[in-house]
Amino acid sequence: MKLTRHLIILLGICLLPASFARAQESAAETPIIDFGSRFLPAVARQGMVVGPERLAAEIGLDMLRRGGNAVDAAVATGFALAVSYPRAGNLGGGGFMLVHLAEDNRQTLIDYRETAPAAATCDLFLNDEGEVDQQRAYFSHKSAGVPGTVAGLVLAQERYGTLPLSEVMAPAIALARDGFEISFALNQEIAARAERLALNAEARKLFLDAEGRVPEVGTVWQQPDLAQTLQQIAKQGRDGFYTGDVAERIVAEMQAGDGLISAADLAGYQAIEREPVRGRFRDFEVISTPPPSSGGIHILQILNILEGYDLQAMGHNSAAYIHHLAEAMKLAYADRSRYLADPDFEPVPVADLIDKAYAERQRALIKPGRATPSSEVAPGEVLVDASHDTTHYTVADRFGNVVSNTYTLNFSFGSHIAVPGTGMLLNNEMADFAANPGQPNPFGLVEGEANSIEGGKRPLSSMSPTMVFRDGKPWLATGSPGGSLIITSVLQTILNAMAFDMNIATAAAEPRVHHQWLPDKLVVEQGISPDTLELLRALGHNVDVAGRTLGRTQSIMLERGYLLGATDTRRPGGHVAGY
């Protein structure tokens, strides 16, 4: 018995009972998803795009329906999110794309992280007192790194896509040109940043109405300048952005705003294909981002430490489990402060950090009955960030290819500065460098000299598009926004699936915790029982029940020929598109 070809795909985790009835029939004795769970994934058979915004996910799905592959869909979604999800979808930012190529049975990672302009120096954000000037670091023209998104998406398309770039970009161009109705989620996203967006004349023009108000839900929003910029890229590829009219406008805006990005910086920008990092957790292979992201290394490091415990016996989100999880997180984030940086500028001991023997030594430091204060935790010898915004989407096609892509402007709406005539926001990714190495940044994360500012260097990231393989086949792909929260959100999502057999919707929905070594705070989402929190406090943890959520994953699990999608319900607007 088989599922109808045009299986119904629904918003988020809500699936029609009828679909489930058919899925249940088709799966006979062992259902592909646990029907006993409160959270259920959406199901499709041939192709799926899970992302933070509906229109862009549907555009990606349309590429799959036309016969395109997962890379075509990912590139189409990436350009479309620049139109429909401006808080993090972008042309002016950067990111990391992890690709599984079914035909070659190999994985590759496209690093399109921004670079520091050549003129950037290590004291760029320090004032006369030697302290970080937050305005300059986060919301000035100097906070923008050389954008990598266009180079990354075009490189992915050229090397691994199957449709012409112009075809893949056409829906994003139409969306910008013809406009679309402002959704509730977009209305809320703009409202949250309206005050700061209003400070920049071009951003105000783009995102607010003539009276400076947030556009109402249902207002048709057109972005003709952005349509023009996208058109240039569709025609000329990367040159349509990094040289010519768009580049000239970026440079002119830099000159007007005392920024650093030059024509040479833009022309010289290169996306880089890198080997992902790989490790094993029990029967699973976990593949993720290498430096200049810290994400993959620390996910593997924490998994290696936790592999030595019987997590199921502890019980999911029990005090014992959270205690060991938090202690492992502290050790990993301490290492992050010392060892992680752009590998093209600083040697990063990747193999040592993800070595099982190193994890064993680190595990020995964890005391089962006492939280180690962060002041007693130091980077090992091998040897934040706040909730910055970013976004993630995941794609799977009928050929077996999978794409897991995380990209960002850093903060929601980046630097909140738009480049006149382009419809495009500038990132504030330079804030991901250690502006004052060795000193806690305004969010408490301490970073070392290795991540200090230097022309041409990529700032350290936490972005972690990740895939888990079982029996040599892709089984789960996910990723999340959230600055330093990305690593722990992705980690817990895949751990919930690997160690606790949760279906992907449940794995994404369960309450999360986060510890980043400094500040010495165990942040927990609502939903962990007060009894458990009391036990954790008794162990010595400084428990902080977050008034906000941690991360927002977009995931696909591949089970016995089915695609199971879960968009995290922690924020509005996410969508699972499939067929």
Among all residues, which ones are annotated catalytic? 390
Q: Work out how close the CB of 427 gets to ligand GLY at its nearest, in angstroms, rounded to a whole number.
A: 8
**Cβ neighbours of residue 477 closer than 8 Å, sequence gap 6 or more:** 98, 100, 394, 396, 402, 403, 404, 465, 466, 467, 468, 555, 556
Q: What residue number has its CB nearest to ligand GLY?
A: 461
d(CA 206, CA 221): 9
Query: Do the beta carbons of residue 97 and residue 443 sit within 8 Å?
Result: no
User: Nearest CA to 334 among 546, 542, 520?
Assistant: 520
Smallest distance, Å, CB 317 to ligand GLY? 25
CB 177 within 8 A of CB 400: no
C-beta of 298: minimal distance to ligand GLY in Å?
12
Q: How far is the CB of 410 from ligand GLY (least distance, A)?
A: 4
What is the smallest separation between the CB atom of 145 and ligand GLY, expressed in angstroms?
10
Q: Alpha-carbon distance 126 to 145, whole Å?
A: 17
Among 237, 380, 483, 573, binds ligand GLY (CB under 6 A): 483
Binding mask 340-369 for ligand GLY (x = CB under 6 A): ------------------------------
Taking the C-alpha atoms of residue 428 and residue 193, their distance in angstroms, rounded to an integer, is: 15
Element (H, E) at 394: strand 391-396
Closer to ligand GLY by CB, 253 or 447: give it: 447
Return the bridge partners of 181, or none. 220
> Which residue, 88 or 101, is less far from ligand GLY as judged by CB?
88
> Which residues from 419-438 bind ligand GLY, rule CB under 6 A?
429, 432
How many residues does this entry show for the chain?
579
- Interface with ligand GLY by CB under 6 A: which range of 41-49, 55-63, 298-306, 455-463? 455-463
Instruction: Evaluate the CA torsion angle 301, 303, 309, 314 in order and state its sign.
Output: positive
Q: What are phi and psi of 281, to 5 degrees?
A: -125, 105
**Of these, 462, 466, 549, 555, which contacts ligand GLY (CB under 6 A)?**
462
- Dump strand ranges (E) for 213-371: 220-221, 272-274, 277-281, 284-288
Type of residue numbered 191? A
Return the closest-CA partner of residue 186 out of 210, 216, 229, 206.
Answer: 216
| Beta-bridge partners for 544 | 523
* Candidates 229-237, 246-254, 460-468, 498-506; binding stretch for ligand GLY (CB under 6 A): 460-468
Tell me which amino acid residue 150 is. V
| Residue (231 or 428) nearer to ligand GLY, CB | 428
Q: Segment contacting ligand GLY (CB under 6 A): 62-70, 201-209, 418-426, 458-466?
A: 458-466
Contact flag: residue 463 with ligand GLY (CB under 6 A):
yes
Site for ligand GLY in 372-391 (CB under 6 A): 388, 390
Least Å distance, CB 295 to ligand GLY, is: 8
# residues near ligand GLY by CB under 6 A: 11
Point out which residues bind ligand GLY (CB under 6 A): 388, 390, 408, 410, 429, 432, 461-463, 483, 486
